[in-house]
Each structure stands twice: as C-alpha cells, then as structure tokens.
Amino acid sequence: MNTRLQQAIDQAFAEARTAMQLRDIAVAYRWLERAHVLTQRMPLAHAKAHWWMLRVGWLDRDWREVAGQVPRIFAALVFSRIWVPVG
C-alpha cells in the first residue's frame, strides 16, 4: 500500500479517537468520513471505519446510526474489493 495513503488513514483514525475521547461527536464523524473514503477498497479497514462510526453513534446514543452501521460493516467486508460507488 502507498505509504502516504496509509499515513492518511492512520491520521484519520487517530484524530477520530481523540475526538471520541473528548466526546466531540461532529469532529469524530468528520475524521471517520475521511477514513471511510480512503479505505473503500480495503475490506478490513473499511469495516473498521464503519465499526468506529457505530461506536460514535453509541457514544452519542444515536440508535439509528448504530442500527444503520451494522449492515454496512458486513457489506464492507463482502463488497469493498469488488464494488466501490462512483464519486
């Protein structure tokens, strides 16, 4: 994998972790959205982004977010290698 890409992914997850610890939900989601886009062709990392979004939803008590992330985690594991949405 490209070193710069891996560094960007690592930074996105690290910043999201910090935001979660500070309970800054909006910032956590912003960094996880970045991680989500960067990992779209990497099933495990992409599922990790969705798992962390689920955790932020749980932290925020946003049960719709939590429920919405469950199927996305499984879809990320299955489809990330074979299909990525355009855009």
Domain-wise residue ranges, the chain: 3-79
pLDDT along the chain (87 residues), means of 10: 93 99 98 96 95 98 98 91 66
The DSSP line for the chain is --HHHHHHHHHHHHHHHHHHHTT-HHHHHHHHHHHHHHTTT-HHHHHHHHHHHHHHHHHTT-HHHHHHHHHHHHHHHHHTTT-----
**4 CB-near residues (< 8 Å, 6+ apart):** none
pTM as predicted: 0.89
